[in-house]
Amino acid sequence: MPAEVKKVATRASYGRALVELGKEHENLYVLDADLAGATQTGMFKKEFPDRHIDCGIAEADMMGIAAGMATTGKIVFASSFAMFAAGRAFEQVRNSIGYPHLNVKIGATHASVSVGEDGATHQCNEDIALMRTIPGMVILNPSDDIEAVAAVKAAYEYVGPVYLRFGRYAVPVINDRPDYSFEIGKGILMREGKDVTIVATGLCVASALEAAEKLAGEGVSAEVINIHTIKPLDEEIILNSAKKTGKVVTVEEHSILGGLGGAVAEVLGEKLPTKMTRIGVNDVFCESGTAAQLLHKHQLDGEGVYARVKDFLK
């Protein structure tokens, strides 16, 4: 990636998108659990103090309050770190939001290792796996600023529960093009190729593109697919690419268990058994460090993805 590439943390995109939506829609409310500064819902609070409710450090209660508000017709974004939104409040999300299929949007920031210095307790590598098991839950994991704003707006328009995943770490803007469009459940072909398919999500899409560029220099043609919607999964785009290349690599800033890699393996295993490998956080707890160091250590940066794909193709 050239040094001049613009970088934005998707949590900031979340805060900005909420403000934009708040201007248009009076029925939009934002809940937070004492993290308004970090989740960036503070921007919305500043603009619309009457429509931002801080529930205090009580994520379970916040999810229930969001559910109750949703039954009265309000559209609520409930925000916290992924660890607490999907982890601590899992059962509230399942039973109070998922089971009654209420129109609540869960804005989960600070996902996975790019949280960095806070360390393992705050690096949620399990949220996608957890949320995937809730029937009817839509899961959006945008790759950059532009996609994150689009995802928040799409989530607002969609009727039903949505889990949105954002990061703390500033990531390159990769979708700044006129023909960009976001549709829930529709993967995006970022780069065509014929030798291997790299299916990536979140900040790993940029890593996959970087890796593909490097591979191209060595004569390897990698196709890169951006899966911003983990559920419902765009099976078609994955199957079509797998049919073409015969080799699939998944890349995600999440545990290799139950996330994008799991979802793709399930589809390929049943419909088109294909040689594949999963890049993600292996079955381990991580540790403190800078986001860049941790992404490098877990081979989630461009260099890491490149090395892993090369290894896979041997």
User: In the bound complex, what is the minimum distance in angstroms from residue 68's beta carbon to other proteins?
Assistant: 2
Q: How far apart are CA 98 and CA 226, in angstroms?
A: 26
| Residue 159 touching other proteins (CB under 8 A) | no
| Residue 60 touching other proteins (CB under 8 A) | yes
Q: Which of 34, 47, 95, 213 binds other proteins (CB under 8 A)?
A: 95
**68 vs 87, beta carbon nearer other proteins:** 68
Q: In this chain, which stretch among 39-47, 57-65, 172-180, 250-258 interacts with other proteins, using CB under 8 A? A: 57-65
Q: How far apart are CA 178 and CA 190, in angstroms?
A: 14
> Looking at 59, 210, 235, 252, which residue is catalytic?
59
**Do you find a cis peptide bond into 232, omega within 30 degrees of 0?**
yes
Q: In this chain, which stretch among 61-69, 184-192, 224-232, 237-245 interacts with other proteins, using CB under 8 A? A: 61-69
User: In the bound complex, what is the minimum distance in angstroms from residue 201's beta carbon to other proteins?
Assistant: 30
Contacts of 178 (CB under 8 A, 6+ apart): none
Establish whether 59 is a catalytic residue: yes
| Residue 96 touching other proteins (CB under 8 A) | yes
Q: Which of 38, 47, 99, 289 binds other proteins (CB under 8 A)?
A: 99
| Residue 34 touching other proteins (CB under 8 A) | no
Q: In this chain, which stretch among 3-11, 34-42, 98-106, 272-280 interacts with other proteins, using CB under 8 A? A: 98-106
Write the secondary structure of the chain as one string of H (helix), E (strand) and C (coil): CCCCCCEECHHHHHHHHHHHHHHHCCCEEEEECCCHHHHCCHHHHHHCHHHEEECCCCHHHHHHHHHHHHHCCCEEEEEEEHHHHHHHCHHHHHHHHHCCCCCEEEEEECECHHHCCCCHHHCECCHHHHHHCCCCCEEECCCCHHHHHHHHHHHHHCCCCEEEECCCCCEECCCCCCCCCCCCCCCEEEECCCCEEEEECCCHHHHHHHHHHHHHCCCCCEEEEECCEEECCCHHHHHHHHHHHCEEEEEEEEECCCCHHHHHHHHHHHHCCCEEEEEEECCCCCCCCCHHHHHHHCCCCHHHHHHHHHHHHC
User: In the bound complex, what is the minimum distance in angstroms from residue 91's beta carbon to other proteins?
Assistant: 6
**68 vs 185, beta carbon nearer other proteins:** 68
Q: In this chain, which stretch among 50-58, 173-181, 287-295, 301-309 interacts with other proteins, using CB under 8 A? A: 50-58
| Residue 74 touching other proteins (CB under 8 A) | yes
Q: Which of 15, 22, 64, 161 binds other proteins (CB under 8 A)?
A: 64
| Residue 135 touching other proteins (CB under 8 A) | no
Q: In this chain, which stretch among 97-105, 142-150, 253-261, 294-302 interacts with other proteins, using CB under 8 A? A: 97-105
**26 vs 176, beta carbon nearer other proteins:** 26
Per the CB < 8 A criterion, the answer to whether 82 and 124 are in contact is yes
Residues with active-site annotation: 59
Binding site for other proteins (CB under 8 A): 29, 50-51, 53, 55-56, 58, 60-72, 74, 91-92, 95-96, 99-101
